[in-house]
């Protein structure tokens, strides 16, 4: 089956469409379509989307939404699975819009006029769904020649699940760290974040595995691996917690599954010193000590996948930058869950997701970029920086330069997170450097959602993580 992407790019209430009037023998001649094209070999849907949009329009997308898949069945052409997207753009990005497109004529069309234009009949069906904001489209269109003879609408499980919503509200009620909320509730941020550390200190699923704690230059390090037939692979986990909280119990709950996904690999955790007791560069220095200790045990960097969430995602990227800058061997891959990698809080999502983010934002409030920074900079969350400038590329890895020496990246960030933009920019920098990078931004999801594991969106993300590990560790 042919695979392709199609994207409808919004500016205010208008959509960028392509009138196909230039190519000879074009099956779409005389019709208005979105922007897109067929997958290249070994290309993901997101990668195809970004490439096709860049080639046809000159635009580099930074904010886009996956709406689902439309399947075309025809007696005239091969079956096709089309991955349907929408995207938003602004005046700054539009300066790169190509004046001429080799495929046809580009034009912004008012949203309420789109369905009146000449187009494939089936396109009207999925365009109605897309304009309504549906993100669970599973549509089959059956053509006889150029004539649409049947449509089937189904629903794929991509909406926010009931459990996902419940966890989001729990995060809003118990885990919101917005400075205004902290002040209003008279919360002790450090104390509250550390209050969950003692919970469930014993974890299950250790039968057939060895578990031991060692001290590496004073840093408590946990090593989990099969008792028999352990492989040479390692999953090196950098825990999150805003650089304030120590490693919590739930990180250990994934040990067995990480080990299985790495073909019997070893899982290493370490409990670095947090703020306010320590500031940068203590955390990364301790990480490097544990990394070197791991290598001294006989493991090889090229057999390691690094995992990090939130502040742990920051630490994972700091580790990669330090290894690159020291000319050392990189790991085989990196998985990030909602990495906190921009201490300047400069991304657009700090504004457009402020009113919906249950962890960092306030419901219904949309501040200006300046107001957001003024507010967030007061937060105790940044005390880990010490005297280090916010724009230092080690503490804000999204501001660093990247090259082809970096390993493949799999990154997850919630669609309603204020931190979304920095993940998008990091993935873009990886791709621009020629490095494989995949970004997942599920709608309605909140900060570091995969690590909680108990609802469908988290489970899907973990399945993708394990599949990534199996692929990279494939013997």
pLDDT in tens, 318-363: 999 999 999 999 999 999 999 999 999 988 888 888 888 888 888 7
What is residue 137's predicted lDDT score, i.e. its pLDDT? 81
Predicted confidence band of residue 179 (pLDDT cuts 50, 70, 90): low
Per-residue confidence band for 189, with pLDDT thresholds at 50, 70 and 90 = low
- Residue 273: which pLDDT band, with cuts at 50, 70 and 90? very high
Q: Are residues 143 and 166 in the same domain?
A: no
Is the model more confident about 351 or about 304? 304
Average pLDDT over residues 24-34: 85
The yes-or-no verdict on residue 194 having pLDDT over 60 is no
**Poorest-pLDDT segment among 282-286, 287-291, 352-356:** 352-356
pLDDT of residue 174: 65
Question: Could you give the 3-state DSSP secondary structure of residue 417?
Answer: coil
Same domain, 72 and 166: no
The range of the structural domain enclosing residue 70 comes to 2-155
- On whether both 264 and 413 belong to a single domain, the answer is yes
Predicted pLDDT of residue 455: 86
**pTM over 0.85, yes/no:** no
Count the domains in the chain: 2
CATH number at residue 19: 3.90.79.10
Residues 135, 182, single domain; the answer is no
Closest-CA residue to 30 (of 19, 41, 45, 14): 19
Task: Mark 146-174 as b/e (b = at least 16 C-beta within 10 Å).
Answer: eebeeeeeeeeebbbbeebeebbeebbee
CATH of residue 431's domain is: 3.40.50.1820
Q: Is the pLDDT assigned to residue 309 strictly greater than 50?
A: yes
- Domain final residue pick, 155, 179, 210: 155
Q: What is the per-residue DSSP string for 118-179?
A: S--HHHHHHHHHHHTT-S-EEEEEEEETTEEEEEEEEE-S-SPPHHHHHHHHHHHHHH---H
Q: What pLDDT band is residue 157 in, cutting at 50, 70 and 90?
A: very low
With a cut of 70, say whether residue 429 has pLDDT above it.
Answer: yes
Whole-number CA gyration radius for the chain: 24
User: What's the pLDDT score for residue 230?
Assistant: 92
Instruction: Tell me the percentage of the chain whose pLDDT exceeds 90.
Output: 49
Q: What is the pLDDT of residue 248?
A: 75
* pLDDT greater than 60 at residue 195: no
113 and 178 co-located in one domain: no
The answer on 269 and 337 residing in a single domain is yes
28-32, 151-155, 450-454: least confidently modelled range = 151-155
Q: What integer pLDDT is reported at residue 404 of this predicted model?
A: 96
**Does 173 lie in the same domain as 128?**
no
Residue 233 scores a pLDDT above 80: yes
- Per residue in 246-268, pLDDT (tens digit) is 877 778 889 999 999 999 999 99
Higher pLDDT, 72 or 306: 306
For residue 395, with 0-12 CB atoms within 10 Å meaning exposed, 13-18 middle and 19 or more buried, which class applies? Answer: buried
């Amino acid at each position: 089956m042919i695979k392709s992407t199609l994207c409808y790019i919004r500016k205010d209430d208008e959509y960028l469409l392509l009138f196909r009037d230039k190519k000879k023998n074009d099956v779409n001649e005389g019709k208005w379509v979105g922007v897109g094209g067929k997958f290249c070999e070994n290309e993901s849907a997101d990668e195809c989307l970004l490439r096709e949009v860049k080639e046809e329009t000159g635009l580099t997308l930074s904010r886009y939404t996956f709406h689902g898949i439309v399947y075309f069945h025809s007696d005239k052409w091969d079956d096709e699975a089309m991955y349907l997207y929408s995207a938003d753009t602004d005046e700054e990005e539009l300066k790169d819009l190509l004046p001429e497109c080799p495929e046809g004529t580009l034009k912004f069309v008012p949203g309420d006029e789109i369905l009146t234009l000449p187009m494939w009949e089936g396109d009207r069906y999925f365009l109605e769904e897309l304009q309504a904001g549906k993100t669970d489209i599973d549509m089959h269109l059956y053509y006889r020649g150029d004539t649409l003879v049947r449509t089937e609408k189904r629903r794929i499980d991509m909406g926010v699940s009931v459990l996902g919503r419940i966890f989001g509200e729990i995060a809003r009620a118990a885990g919101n760290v917005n400075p205004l909320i902290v002040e209003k509730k008279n919360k002790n941020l450090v104390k509250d974040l550390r209050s969950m550390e003692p919970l469930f200190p014993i974890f299950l699923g250790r039968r057939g595995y060895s578990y031991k704690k060692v001290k590496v230059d004073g840093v408590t390090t946990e090593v989990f691996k099969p008792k028999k037939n352990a492989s040479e692979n390692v999953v090196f986990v950098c825990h999150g917690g805003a650089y304030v909280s120590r490693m919590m119990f739930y990180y250990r709950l994934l040990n067995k599954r990480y080990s299985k996904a790495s073909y019997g690999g070893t899982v290493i955790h370490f409990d670095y010193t947090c703020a306010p007791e320590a500031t940068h560069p203590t955390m990364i220095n301790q990480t490097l000590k544990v990394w070197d200790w791991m290598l001294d045990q006989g493991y090889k960097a090229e057999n390691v996948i690094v995992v990090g969430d939130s502040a742990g995602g920051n630490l994972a990227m700091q580790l990669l930058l330090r290894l690159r800058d020291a000319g050392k061997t990189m790991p085989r891959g990196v998985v990030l869950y909602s990495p906190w990698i921009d201490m300047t809080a400069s991304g657009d999502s700090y504004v457009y997701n402020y009113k919906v983010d249950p962890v960092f934002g306030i419901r219904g409030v949309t501040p200006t970029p300046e107001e957001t920074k003024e507010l967030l900079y007061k937060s105790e969350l940044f005390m880990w920086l010490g005297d280090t400038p916010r724009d230092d590329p080690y503490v804000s890895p999204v501001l660093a330069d990247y090259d082809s020496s970096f390993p493949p990246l799999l990154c997850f960030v919630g669609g309603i997170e204020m931190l979304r933009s920095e993940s998008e920019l990091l993935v873009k920098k990886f791709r621009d450097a020629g490095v494989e990078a995949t970004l997942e931004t599920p709608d309605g999801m909140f900060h570091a959602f995969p690590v909680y594991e108990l609802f469908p969106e988290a489970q899907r993300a973990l399945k993708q993580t394990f599949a990534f590990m199996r692929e990279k560790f494939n013997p």
